[in-house]
Structure 1
Amino acid sequence: MSLPSPWRAEFPAFTAFAADGITYLDSAATAQKPQVVLDALLASYRLGAANVHRAQHWAAERTTAAYEGARGRIAAWLGAASPHEVVLTRGATEALNLLAYGLEDSFATGDEILISALEHHANLLPWQQLARRRDLELRVIPLTPSGHLDLEAAERLLGPRTRVVAVSQLSNVLGTWQPLAELAALVRACSPAWLVVDGAQGAVHGRHRPGDFDADFYVFSGHKLYAPEAIGVLWGKADCLAQLKPWQFGGEMVQHTSFTDARFHAAPMGFEAGTPPIGAAIALGAAVDWLQGQDETLIRGHEQALSLKLLAGLAAREGVRVLGEPQIALASFQVAGVDVGDLSHLLGEQGIAVRAGQHCAMPLFQTLQTPGALRVSLGLYNDAEDLQRFFTALDNALELLR
Structure 2
Amino acid sequence: MPRQRKTTRPSQRELPFSELQAEIPDKGVEEGFSLLYSEINKFIKSGVGKKAANTKKSLWTKRHSKEFLSYAGMIARPGADGGWEKLLRSRPYRCALLSGVVMMVLDKHVFSDLLFGAGSEHAEMLRMEDSFMVNIEGFQRTDLRAKTNRVYLEATGGVPPLFWKRVDKMTAQILAMLSPIYSAIGAETPSQSSYQTLHDIVSLAGWLNVAIRLSPKITAFEWVQPGEAYQFSYLCIGEEKNMASNGHNKAQDDQIRRRTRVMISTAPKITRHARGSDGFFTGTETYEVMQPHVVTYSGTLADWEDNRVVPLQSLTRNGSLVFWGHVLSLLMSIMRLTAVLFIVGVIGLIVFGTWTGIPGGHGGSSSLSWIVQMVLWPIRLTFQSLMLSVRMILQNSEVRTDYSLMSTGSWLSKQ
TM range (shorter): under 0.3
TM (norm. structure 2) is 0.25
TM (norm. structure 1) is 0.25
